[in-house]
Amino acid sequence: MLTTGFKLWFGFFVGAVLAAVFAGYTSGATETGPLSLGWKGGVGNHVSYTILVMGAGVLALLGLVAVAFRDADAKAQADFLGLDEAPPAQAVVGNSLWPVFGALGLGAVGVGLVVHPAIFVIGLCLLGAVAVEWTMTNWSEKVSDDASVNADARENLMRPIEIPVLAAAGVGVLVVAVSRILLTSSVTGAVVVATVIGLVIFVLALWISRRPELPRNTVRGVLFVGCLAVLVFGIVAAVSGEREFHHKGGGEHHDDTHDHGTDH
């Protein structure tokens, strides 16, 4: 018996083929062109014809798959698996960071294509990391039936890689951001900024260390806001550009970012 899915998609396939042939003949095709996919003559409006024929091909494939797998009905699945009842098609999965980071990576790749190659590369790195992490997460969920055992399996494998890599990346980003802020400030301003940032970090760390009862979320919030502030100021500073550097003994001015030792 023909399934409903087959009827739907095969019907669409027939419609698309008829539409392609009709479009061909009514837009200047030769007698045999539309019937022979352009092999024996012109097909008229080739864009319309090609899109409709390609669509027809995909729809035919969908129809054939639908009828071959009996519309993937639960009963057909159970019969195929030799069970009385088909298992749920999808197990409920827990929360995951990777989709949102994947989207951010795609966004960075897109923005990087338009704005700057460095952002493009950062996006690619992010996508690569997400691909690895997502794969490992999925692998670990199939290790056993016990979620905690699965989580341990993943932790044992990935933590020795994640922690050093994330720490190095985090420190690197913060160092670059702070260096941009210092290079944008005036000579005296840079000293003031460095002193203030150092003092703020010291005082906050002291304050947190004296209050072990502080909720974990508060500590994480403070760290998040602090890192975000340094990052935002760093980006703003990078966009503003560095201060002007002067060479000793000359009136020449230029923005030499590698000549930090000679500024005064």
Partner 1 sequence: MTTTDEIDSTVFEEAVTSTDPKVLAKVWGFGGMTSVLLGAIAGLLVGFERLDLTSADLLGSADEVFQFWSAHRVALVLLGVLPALMTLATTVVPRQCGANTLIFPRAAALACWTWLVGAVLTIVGFLADGGLGTPGAGGQRQATALTLIGLLLAIAGLLTATVCVVTTIISGRSTGTGLRDLPFTSWTTLVSATIWGGMLPVLAANIVLTYVDLRGRSAVRFGAEDAIWEQLSWMFTHPAVYVLALPVLGIALDVLSATTGTTQANRDVLLVATAAFGFLSFGAYAQPFFDTPGTPVMEEALYVVMAFAIVPVALVILGGVADTLRRGASNLGTRPPAETVCALLSVMLIVAGTAVGALRVIAPLDLLGTSVTGAQFTLVVGGAVLGVGAGFQHWGDDLVGGPGARPGMNLLGGLALAGGVVLIGATDLISGLLGLSDFTGVDLATAGYPGSGVDGLNIVSIVGSLALVGGLVIWQASGILHLTAAKKASSV
Stretch 112-141 residues interacting with partner 1 (CB under 8 A):
113-115, 133-134, 137, 140
CA–CA separation, 240 and 261 (whole Å)? 21
Query: Given the complex with partner 1, which of 23 and 178 has the nearer CB atom?
Result: 23
Query: Given the complex with partner 1, which of 108 and 178 has the nearer CB atom?
Result: 108
Q: Decide if residue 260 touches partner 1 (CB under 8 A).
A: no
Partners of residue 246 on adjacent β-strands: 253
Q: Decide if residue 86 touches partner 1 (CB under 8 A).
A: yes
Q: Decide if residue 155 touches partner 1 (CB under 8 A).
A: yes
Residue in 159, 211, 254, 260 binding partner 1, rule: CB under 8 A: 159
Number of C-alpha atoms within 13 angstroms, CB side, residue 122?
14
**What residue has token string 């030799």?**
82
Provide the minimum distance between the beta carbon of 41 and partner 1 in the complex, in angstroms, as a whole number: 15
Task: Build a one-symbol-per-residue string for 41-60: x at contacts with partner 1 by CB under 8 A, - elsewhere.
Answer: ---xxxxxx-xx--x--xx-
Which of 237, 229, 244, 243 lies closest to 197, judged by CA? 229
**Long-range contacts, 61-66 (Cβ 8 Å, 24+):** 62/5, 62/9, 63/5, 63/6, 63/8, 63/9, 63/10, 63/12, 63/13, 64/6, 66/3, 66/5, 66/6, 66/8, 66/9
In this chain, which stretch among 71-79, 175-183, 195-203, 236-244 interacts with partner 1, using CB under 8 A? Answer: 71-79
Residue in 2, 32, 40, 75 binding partner 1, rule: CB under 8 A: 75
Stretch 22-41 residues interacting with partner 1 (CB under 8 A):
22-23, 26-28
Q: Decide if residue 74 touches partner 1 (CB under 8 A).
A: yes
CA atoms 135, 141, 147, 153: torsion sign: negative
Q: Decide if residue 78 touches partner 1 (CB under 8 A).
A: yes
CA–CA separation, 118 and 166 (whole Å)? 19
Task: Build a one-symbol-per-residue string for 217-246: x at contacts with partner 1 by CB under 8 A, - elsewhere.
Answer: x--xx-------------------------
Strand 253-254 and strand 245-246: the pairing is: antiparallel
